Amino acid sequence: MDKNIRESLFEKALEAANNSYSPYSKFRVGAAILCKDGTVFTGTNVENRSFGLTICAERSALTSAISAGKAEFEAVVIATPDADYPVSPCGACRQVLSEFLDRDAEIDFGSSADALQKTTMGELFPFDALHELGQRS
């Protein structure tokens, strides 16, 4: 992904993080997902007292895109401005993202644009059993 696109996506993710509802963890997260047609959708984490009902930023952005009729994605950038180090997507987000992103789709995450950890869906989630099952006849 081009550096300018990555930085633009990070800025959008950071803006989304500023809208976070995180009164329990005090840990803001924002995500920007780039569709293959160039459209960008953002999402933020929305916590709940029943922590299992919390919605992560990555899934928030993805469901916004799906709700708008988009289903082909090129990249995801995640901003975690309250972290001292790059925080990767949780297991639930990895599973949900793997449903829609190709193995070579870029996923970058970090607390600043200068310190983004760059990876791919395949590197982040190497043993995607659902896709393996789908390849068997």
Known catalytic residues are 58
Query: Which CA distances in Å does 86 have to 76, 97, 105?
Result: 14, 18, 18
Residues in Cβ contact with 123 at an 8 Å cutoff, skipping those fewer than 6 apart: none
Backbone angles phi, psi at 31, to 5 degrees: -135, 145
